[in-house]
Amino acid sequence: MTIHPTAIIDSGAELDSSVSVGPYAIIGKGVRIDADSQIGPHAFLSGPLTIGKANNIGAFSCIGAPPQDIKYKGEETLLKIGDGNIIREYCSLHRGSPGGHGVTTIGSNCMLMAYSHVAHDCTIGNNVILVNNATLGGHVEIGDRVTVGGMTAVHQFSRIGEYSFIGGMSGISMDVPPYVIVAGIRNDMQVRGINKIGLKRAGFSNDDIRNLGRAFTLIFKTRELLLQEALEKVKTEIPDSAPVARMVEFFNVSNRNVVRLSSDDE
Protein backbone atom coordinates (compact mmCIF):
# COMPACT_ATOMS: atom_id res chain seq x y z
CA MET A 1 0.00 0.00 0.00
CA THR A 2 1.30 3.45 -0.96
CA ILE A 3 -0.29 6.25 1.06
CA HIS A 4 0.98 9.79 0.87
CA PRO A 5 1.74 11.17 4.35
CA THR A 6 -0.68 14.08 3.83
CA ALA A 7 -3.65 11.77 3.09
CA ILE A 8 -6.27 11.36 5.84
CA ILE A 9 -7.80 7.90 6.18
CA ASP A 10 -10.42 7.12 8.79
CA SER A 11 -9.77 4.09 10.96
CA GLY A 12 -13.16 2.76 9.85
CA ALA A 13 -12.10 2.61 6.18
CA GLU A 14 -10.94 -0.70 4.64
CA LEU A 15 -8.26 -0.53 1.94
CA ASP A 16 -6.59 -3.46 0.21
CA SER A 17 -2.82 -3.56 0.72
CA SER A 18 -2.25 -2.75 -2.98
CA VAL A 19 -4.29 0.49 -2.99
CA SER A 20 -2.43 3.77 -3.53
CA VAL A 21 -3.64 7.10 -2.12
CA GLY A 22 -2.38 10.47 -3.34
CA PRO A 23 -1.57 13.69 -1.47
CA TYR A 24 -4.29 15.34 0.62
CA ALA A 25 -6.90 12.72 -0.26
CA ILE A 26 -9.56 12.13 2.41
CA ILE A 27 -11.13 8.70 2.88
CA GLY A 28 -13.91 8.45 5.42
CA LYS A 29 -15.52 5.79 7.56
CA GLY A 30 -17.37 3.01 5.75
CA VAL A 31 -15.27 3.20 2.56
CA ARG A 32 -14.06 -0.14 1.20
CA ILE A 33 -11.52 -0.18 -1.66
CA ASP A 34 -10.42 -3.38 -3.38
CA ALA A 35 -7.07 -4.34 -4.93
CA ASP A 36 -4.98 -2.18 -7.27
CA SER A 37 -7.20 0.90 -7.12
CA GLN A 38 -5.60 4.34 -7.21
CA ILE A 39 -6.97 7.38 -5.40
CA GLY A 40 -5.78 10.71 -6.76
CA PRO A 41 -4.70 13.84 -4.87
CA HIS A 42 -7.36 15.80 -3.01
CA ALA A 43 -10.03 13.18 -3.76
CA PHE A 44 -12.79 13.01 -1.14
CA LEU A 45 -14.38 9.60 -0.50
CA SER A 46 -17.15 9.11 2.04
CA GLY A 47 -19.11 6.02 2.99
CA PRO A 48 -20.93 3.79 2.88
CA LEU A 49 -19.00 3.26 -0.35
CA THR A 50 -17.58 0.15 -2.01
CA ILE A 51 -15.02 0.43 -4.80
CA GLY A 52 -13.93 -2.66 -6.71
CA LYS A 53 -10.60 -3.62 -8.23
CA ALA A 54 -8.28 -1.55 -10.45
CA ASN A 55 -10.25 1.69 -10.35
CA ASN A 56 -8.55 5.02 -10.97
CA ILE A 57 -10.14 7.90 -9.04
CA GLY A 58 -9.05 11.34 -10.26
CA ALA A 59 -7.96 14.45 -8.41
CA PHE A 60 -10.55 16.55 -6.58
CA SER A 61 -13.33 14.04 -7.24
CA CYS A 62 -16.14 13.68 -4.69
CA ILE A 63 -17.19 10.05 -4.40
CA GLY A 64 -19.94 8.80 -2.09
CA ALA A 65 -21.39 12.10 -0.90
CA PRO A 66 -24.98 12.08 0.47
CA PRO A 67 -27.81 12.44 -2.07
CA GLN A 68 -28.87 15.93 -3.07
CA ASP A 69 -32.41 15.23 -1.93
CA ILE A 70 -34.20 17.55 0.49
CA LYS A 71 -36.00 14.51 1.95
CA TYR A 72 -32.69 12.93 2.97
CA LYS A 73 -32.23 12.93 6.76
CA GLY A 74 -28.90 11.19 7.16
CA GLU A 75 -30.05 7.60 6.54
CA GLU A 76 -27.39 5.02 5.65
CA THR A 77 -27.35 4.50 1.90
CA LEU A 78 -24.70 3.19 -0.50
CA LEU A 79 -22.65 3.92 -3.60
CA LYS A 80 -21.29 0.78 -5.25
CA ILE A 81 -18.62 0.95 -7.96
CA GLY A 82 -17.40 -2.08 -9.96
CA ASP A 83 -13.96 -2.84 -11.40
CA GLY A 84 -11.65 -1.14 -13.86
CA ASN A 85 -13.34 2.26 -13.98
CA ILE A 86 -11.64 5.55 -14.79
CA ILE A 87 -13.23 8.40 -12.85
CA ARG A 88 -11.54 11.64 -13.77
CA GLU A 89 -10.98 14.92 -11.96
CA TYR A 90 -13.83 16.77 -10.27
CA CYS A 91 -16.41 14.01 -10.83
CA SER A 92 -19.22 13.81 -8.26
CA LEU A 93 -20.95 10.49 -7.56
CA HIS A 94 -23.63 10.37 -4.87
CA ARG A 95 -25.06 7.60 -2.71
CA GLY A 96 -28.63 6.37 -3.06
CA SER A 97 -31.63 7.78 -1.22
CA PRO A 98 -34.15 6.08 1.10
CA GLY A 99 -36.94 7.00 -1.31
CA GLY A 100 -35.19 5.24 -4.19
CA HIS A 101 -33.15 2.05 -4.37
CA GLY A 102 -31.02 3.13 -1.44
CA VAL A 103 -28.00 2.51 -3.66
CA THR A 104 -26.32 4.14 -6.64
CA THR A 105 -24.59 1.55 -8.83
CA ILE A 106 -21.81 1.99 -11.37
CA GLY A 107 -20.70 -1.08 -13.31
CA SER A 108 -17.23 -1.97 -14.58
CA ASN A 109 -14.87 -0.60 -17.23
CA CYS A 110 -16.61 2.76 -17.45
CA MET A 111 -14.97 6.11 -18.16
CA LEU A 112 -16.45 9.11 -16.39
CA MET A 113 -14.66 12.14 -17.77
CA ALA A 114 -13.95 15.39 -15.92
CA TYR A 115 -16.82 17.07 -14.06
CA SER A 116 -19.32 14.28 -14.76
CA HIS A 117 -22.12 13.99 -12.19
CA VAL A 118 -24.05 10.86 -11.20
CA ALA A 119 -26.95 11.61 -8.86
CA HIS A 120 -28.60 9.40 -6.25
CA ASP A 121 -30.14 6.04 -7.18
CA CYS A 122 -28.70 5.97 -10.68
CA THR A 123 -27.86 2.60 -12.21
CA ILE A 124 -25.05 2.61 -14.77
CA GLY A 125 -24.06 -0.50 -16.70
CA ASN A 126 -20.67 -1.63 -17.98
CA ASN A 127 -18.40 0.10 -20.52
CA VAL A 128 -20.33 3.36 -20.25
CA ILE A 129 -18.70 6.66 -21.20
CA LEU A 130 -19.81 9.97 -19.73
CA VAL A 131 -18.03 12.76 -21.58
CA ASN A 132 -16.98 15.97 -19.80
CA ASN A 133 -19.74 17.66 -17.79
CA ALA A 134 -22.36 14.98 -18.52
CA THR A 135 -24.96 15.21 -15.76
CA LEU A 136 -27.38 12.50 -14.66
CA GLY A 137 -30.41 13.36 -12.52
CA GLY A 138 -31.64 11.00 -9.83
CA HIS A 139 -32.89 7.48 -10.64
CA VAL A 140 -31.48 7.48 -14.20
CA GLU A 141 -30.78 4.05 -15.73
CA ILE A 142 -28.07 3.65 -18.37
CA GLY A 143 -27.46 0.38 -20.18
CA ASP A 144 -24.15 -1.18 -21.21
CA ARG A 145 -21.85 0.55 -23.71
CA VAL A 146 -23.75 3.83 -23.80
CA THR A 147 -21.91 7.06 -24.60
CA VAL A 148 -23.35 10.30 -23.19
CA GLY A 149 -21.90 13.36 -24.93
CA GLY A 150 -20.30 16.31 -23.22
CA MET A 151 -22.46 18.87 -21.40
CA THR A 152 -25.52 16.64 -21.77
CA ALA A 153 -28.16 16.63 -19.02
CA VAL A 154 -30.36 13.58 -18.43
CA HIS A 155 -33.67 14.17 -16.62
CA GLN A 156 -34.41 12.17 -13.48
CA PHE A 157 -36.03 8.74 -13.94
CA SER A 158 -35.03 8.61 -17.64
CA ARG A 159 -33.72 5.36 -19.12
CA ILE A 160 -31.07 5.12 -21.83
CA GLY A 161 -30.96 1.77 -23.60
CA GLU A 162 -27.75 -0.17 -24.20
CA TYR A 163 -25.39 0.67 -27.08
CA SER A 164 -26.99 4.06 -27.68
CA PHE A 165 -25.09 7.28 -28.32
CA ILE A 166 -26.23 10.66 -27.00
CA GLY A 167 -24.88 13.69 -28.84
CA GLY A 168 -23.13 16.47 -26.94
CA MET A 169 -25.07 19.36 -25.37
CA SER A 170 -28.33 17.40 -25.46
CA GLY A 171 -31.16 17.58 -22.95
CA ILE A 172 -32.68 14.14 -22.42
CA SER A 173 -36.17 14.24 -20.93
CA MET A 174 -37.59 10.97 -22.36
CA ASP A 175 -36.42 7.38 -22.51
CA VAL A 176 -33.91 6.62 -25.26
CA PRO A 177 -34.21 3.22 -26.99
CA PRO A 178 -31.21 0.91 -27.27
CA TYR A 179 -28.90 0.92 -30.31
CA VAL A 180 -29.73 4.44 -31.57
CA ILE A 181 -28.09 7.85 -31.91
CA VAL A 182 -30.03 10.70 -30.28
CA ALA A 183 -29.37 14.43 -30.02
CA GLY A 184 -31.37 17.53 -29.19
CA ILE A 185 -32.96 19.44 -26.35
CA ARG A 186 -36.06 18.12 -24.58
CA ASN A 187 -39.04 18.40 -27.00
CA ASP A 188 -36.64 18.72 -29.94
CA MET A 189 -34.84 15.44 -29.21
CA GLN A 190 -34.35 13.54 -32.45
CA VAL A 191 -33.31 10.00 -33.27
CA ARG A 192 -30.62 10.25 -35.92
CA GLY A 193 -30.29 6.58 -36.79
CA ILE A 194 -28.87 3.28 -35.64
CA ASN A 195 -25.50 3.49 -33.86
CA LYS A 196 -23.79 1.44 -36.57
CA ILE A 197 -20.22 2.32 -35.62
CA GLY A 198 -20.77 1.50 -31.96
CA LEU A 199 -22.47 -1.77 -32.84
CA LYS A 200 -19.67 -2.82 -35.21
CA ARG A 201 -17.08 -2.04 -32.55
CA ALA A 202 -19.05 -4.15 -30.08
CA GLY A 203 -19.04 -7.14 -32.44
CA PHE A 204 -22.63 -7.10 -33.70
CA SER A 205 -23.08 -9.03 -36.94
CA ASN A 206 -24.01 -7.39 -40.22
CA ASP A 207 -27.35 -9.22 -40.04
CA ASP A 208 -28.09 -7.78 -36.59
CA ILE A 209 -27.25 -4.27 -37.76
CA ARG A 210 -29.31 -4.71 -40.92
CA ASN A 211 -32.31 -5.97 -38.92
CA LEU A 212 -32.04 -3.04 -36.51
CA GLY A 213 -32.02 -0.73 -39.53
CA ARG A 214 -35.25 -2.32 -40.77
CA ALA A 215 -36.81 -1.96 -37.33
CA PHE A 216 -35.66 1.66 -37.19
CA THR A 217 -37.43 2.42 -40.46
CA LEU A 218 -40.70 0.91 -39.26
CA ILE A 219 -40.66 2.50 -35.80
CA PHE A 220 -39.16 5.91 -36.51
CA LYS A 221 -39.74 6.59 -40.21
CA THR A 222 -43.12 5.06 -41.05
CA ARG A 223 -45.20 7.92 -39.71
CA GLU A 224 -48.58 6.58 -40.82
CA LEU A 225 -48.28 3.82 -38.21
CA LEU A 226 -49.14 4.35 -34.56
CA LEU A 227 -46.39 3.19 -32.23
CA GLN A 228 -48.06 -0.08 -31.23
CA GLU A 229 -48.87 -0.80 -34.87
CA ALA A 230 -45.22 -0.23 -35.77
CA LEU A 231 -44.02 -2.50 -32.97
CA GLU A 232 -46.39 -5.28 -34.02
CA LYS A 233 -45.21 -4.93 -37.61
CA VAL A 234 -41.60 -5.19 -36.45
CA LYS A 235 -42.35 -8.41 -34.55
CA THR A 236 -44.12 -9.86 -37.59
CA GLU A 237 -41.56 -8.87 -40.23
CA ILE A 238 -38.35 -9.37 -38.17
CA PRO A 239 -39.20 -12.30 -35.88
CA ASP A 240 -35.80 -13.88 -35.24
CA SER A 241 -33.54 -11.00 -34.19
CA ALA A 242 -32.59 -10.74 -30.50
CA PRO A 243 -31.52 -7.05 -30.72
CA VAL A 244 -34.76 -6.13 -32.46
CA ALA A 245 -36.77 -8.01 -29.83
CA ARG A 246 -34.87 -6.07 -27.16
CA MET A 247 -35.77 -2.76 -28.83
CA VAL A 248 -39.45 -3.70 -28.93
CA GLU A 249 -39.33 -4.79 -25.29
CA PHE A 250 -37.81 -1.42 -24.29
CA PHE A 251 -40.80 0.41 -25.73
CA ASN A 252 -43.28 -1.97 -24.14
CA VAL A 253 -41.92 -1.68 -20.59
CA SER A 254 -41.27 2.06 -20.59
CA ASN A 255 -43.13 4.08 -17.97
CA ARG A 256 -42.19 7.35 -19.68
CA ASN A 257 -42.45 8.61 -23.22
CA VAL A 258 -39.81 7.14 -25.54
CA VAL A 259 -38.22 9.50 -28.02
CA ARG A 260 -39.55 8.67 -31.50
CA LEU A 261 -39.06 11.87 -33.51
CA SER A 262 -36.61 11.19 -36.32
CA SER A 263 -34.23 13.72 -37.80
CA ASP A 264 -36.17 14.34 -41.02
CA ASP A 265 -39.56 14.90 -39.28
CA GLU A 266 -41.12 18.34 -39.37
Choose, from 83, 121, 144, 175, the residue flagged as catalytic: 121
Q: What is the pLDDT of residues 228-241, one digit of tens each?
A: 999 999 999 999 99
Region 177-203: mean pLDDT is 94
138 in catalytic set: yes
Rounded CA Rg of the chain? 20
Q: Measure the CA–CA gap between 29 and 241, rounded to whole angstroms.
A: 48
Choose, from 120, 137, 175, 193, the residue flagged as catalytic: 120
Residue 225: CB atoms within 10 A of its CB come to 15
Region 156-167: mean pLDDT is 98
Choose, from 138, 143, 149, 193, the residue flagged as catalytic: 138
pLDDT band at 264 (very low <50, low <70, confident <90, very high): low
Q: Measure the CA–CA gap between 77 and 100, rounded to whole angstroms.
A: 10
pLDDT band at 21 (very low <50, low <70, confident <90, very high): very high
Structural domains of the chain, ranges and CATH numbers in brackets: 2-139 (2.160.10.10), 199-253 (1.20.1180)
End-to-end Cα, the chain, rounded Å: 60
| HSE-CB of 89 using CA atoms within 13 angstroms | 5
Region 162-168: mean pLDDT is 98
pLDDT band at 266 (very low <50, low <70, confident <90, very high): very low
101 in catalytic set: no
120 in catalytic set: yes
